[in-house]
Structure formats: C-alpha cells, structure tokens
Amino acid sequence: VAQKSWQPLAEFAEWLGLMHYMEVLMMITSIEYTAPISDENVTVTDTKFNNVPARLYMPRKQSSGLKRAVIYIHGGGWCVGGSAMEPYDLLSRWTANKLNAVVVSVEYRLAPMYHFPVQFEDVYTVVKFFLQNSVLVQYGVDPNRICISGDSAGGNLAAAVAQQLLDDLEVKVKLKIQALLYPALQTLDLDLPSYKDNENKPILPKSLMVRFWSEYFTTDVSLQEAMASNKHVPAESSHLFRFVNWSNLLPEKFKKDHVYASPIYGSSMLGKKYPGFLDPRAAPLLVEDTKLLGLPVTYVLTCQHDVLRDDGIMYVSRLREVGIEVIHDHIEDAIHGVLMFITSPTDLALGHRVANKYIEWLNINL
C-alpha cells in the first residue's frame, strides 16, 4: 500500500524533470536494504557468480550428505528492488535455515539503465554458472535437488530461464523443481479479467504494471502508451494470441462476467523497434507447447486481487495440458506481493501463512 501512495510523488518528480519515475521508486525501496549479516543459523555473504552479484546464504547446520539449493530471483518489475531488501533477505534466510539449503539470491541489473535482455542474461549467467558440477561440489550441493524460484518479475525470469535451459546442451544438471510466485508471464494482453478486476488495487495497479513492462524494453513512452490502451501487438504477431487466449485457458470461476474480445492490433513499427516484448525470454507464455515439455515439477502461487493473477493461471493450464506436474496455490484473500508482508506488523499473519505454504512445498518436493 505504501508503494502505491508513493506513485504520485514519483510521477510529480518525473514531471518536474527532477528524476526518472523508477529512480524515485528505487530510492524508496533502498530504505529496506540490509547488510549481509550472518546469524546463528545462516552465513550470509555478498559475492559474484561469473561477475554477476548475488547474495549467498549457507546454512550452518551440519549435514551428513549433500545439501539442497534454491536459486532465488527477486521481483520489482525489472526496475526496482534487490536481493538485499529486508523481506527478500528474510525469506532467503528462512529458506536456507528451514530446508538446510544453499540459497543464491541473484542481483541482476535493472531498468531503465539496462533493458531486456540484460536482466534475463544476468540471471541465466548465474544459473548456468552455479549448475556446473565443480561449483556444486564447492558448495556441497546435490545436483539432483536444485530449485529455481522467483516472485513477480523474478517469477518471470525464473520461468524464462527454466525454459531456456531445456535447449542448452552445455548444461548437464537439470532443475528438479521451479516455483513461480505471482509471476508476470505475458506481454500481449494487458486487459485480461485480472487486469480489469484489479486495475486500481494496491501495490500493483494496472498503470504501474504497464509502466514496468514498457520500461523493461525501452524508455520510449510510445510503447507505454500503446500498452496502456492494449494496442501494442502488431498484426503480423497475431498468431501469438492463441498462447494467451484467456477464454480457453482460464477456469470458469475466473472469467466471471467478462467477455473475450478479439485483439486490436498496433503499429508494426513498435514490434520492429522493440522486439523484446514479443520474445518468449521476456514473456514465457509465448512458447509453443513443445517448448514446455521437459520442464520440472512446478509450483505456481497466484493472488486473487492481483493484475498478474491470470498470467499464472494460464501457465498452469498450459503446463497441465502438456503433462507437466503443477501445484497451483491460489490465495483468495491476498494482493500482489503478499510475500513482501513478512516484515510488516499489520500483515504478518497473511505473509507468514503464504511463506510457510511455499517453504513447506519446497521441503516436500526438493
């Protein structure tokens, strides 16, 4: 809720020409940054994996065998946030301690200074480096018990990396599971039932999500304006809409009284200038079914009061259609970013309940 209240300030600062909108949000989120402080349960260090920064959590508990590992990717719309933010730091500590697992929390570069595919490539670089047998031996990790996980934009990156790994012949170690927490998964239809139902909900109103998506690819406001009116996909990319057709992919209870409308196509110029928004590495729902085969057992968390709700639900439908085992945890009373509430005195109960469900699933399946 606090984040939403800062939006007018960010807009005003940008309008005055004082600083970029995302710079204001970054200043606000930086208040929550924590130092890498070890405790009695976990040793915490800031390090680099193949020159990409990451925060490493090593459990102190003795273990007779090799440890499990979770590679975590933080959210923040590819523009803000970081692994050192207090809620992410706390979640990683809990994960490391409760699972006796090594946790690698990736610190990828952010927009608007860096645009797609930089964020994807940073995460992919860390994951590919970590999955080398020599590195796993160094950290005492079992190569058969590794998870990739992320929330929101981090869930987007986790899903995209998991897909890309399937085609990478250099990577011999396979992910055992993936966990996608209220992920952003498609750029084509920003007028889904969930976008309509939650257009002005706290934390992530539609206007902010559209801004995050557009900033991921460019600072050119023409893309942002086209996305805001849902007229950004060129006609020559019309074949991609079948991958995000909510009338086929959403269960009835999420359709409510919404009626599917055919897309209104936008300028071919935008697709040519910024092809990233049509790239499956940015929008994992845009891959063919054959590209989903071989993905690991998947956990998808969605929140009812979230513009991204239907992205996650459509991915659940598509994964199940091709035979991937999926556990879908839908939280009726939650808004986007519920796991960020684990440090909030007012929302502790809900944040803890959801975090415990997620960690319990990891414990059983990893």
Among 68, 85, 73, smallest CA distance to 26 is for 85
Say how far residue 260 (Cα) sits from the centre of its chain. 26
Residue 167 bears catalytic tag:
no
Q: Residue 68 in 3-state DSSP?
A: strand
Percent of the chain that is helix, strand, coil (3-state, to 5): 45, 20, 35
Contact 141, 172 (CB under 8 A): no
DSSP characters over 275-328: GGGG-TTT-GGGS-GGGTTTPPEEEEEEEEE-TTHHHHHHHHHHHHHTT--EEE
Classify the C-alpha dihedral 88-93-98-100 as positive or negative.
positive
Which one is catalytic: 20, 74, 305, 336?
Answer: 336
What is the token pair recorded at 36?
């890498």
Count how many Cα atoms sit within 13 Å of the Cα of residue 290 in the half-sphere of its side chain.
Answer: 1
Residue 115 bears catalytic tag:
no
Residue 306 bears catalytic tag:
yes
Q: Where do the H-state alpha helices sit in the chain? A: 2-15, 21-30, 86-99, 118-130, 133-138, 153-165, 193-197, 206-217, 221-228, 246-249, 252-255, 268-273, 309-321, 348-365
d(CA 233, CA 214): 13
Which one is catalytic: 189, 191, 306, 311?
Answer: 306
Contact 246, 317 (CB under 8 A): no
Which one is catalytic: 149, 152, 194, 237?
Answer: 152
Catalytic residues: 152, 306, 336
